[in-house]
Amino acid sequence: MSARTHTRPHPANPGGVDIRLPWWALALPALAFVALLLLILNPADAHAAGGDPAITHLFERVQQTVLHQAP
Give the DSSP per-residue string, the chain. -PPPPP--SS---TT-------HHHHHHHHHHHHHHHHHHH-GGGGTT----HHHHHHHHHHHHHHHHH--
Residues 8-25, mean pLDDT to the nearest whole number: 73
CB of 45 closer than 8 Å to CB of 39: yes
Residues 22-50, mean pLDDT to the nearest whole number: 79
Between CA 50 and CA 48 the distance in angstroms is 6
CA distances from 5 to 8, 18, 47 (A): 10, 27, 70
Q: Percent of the chain at pLDDT above 90?
A: 10
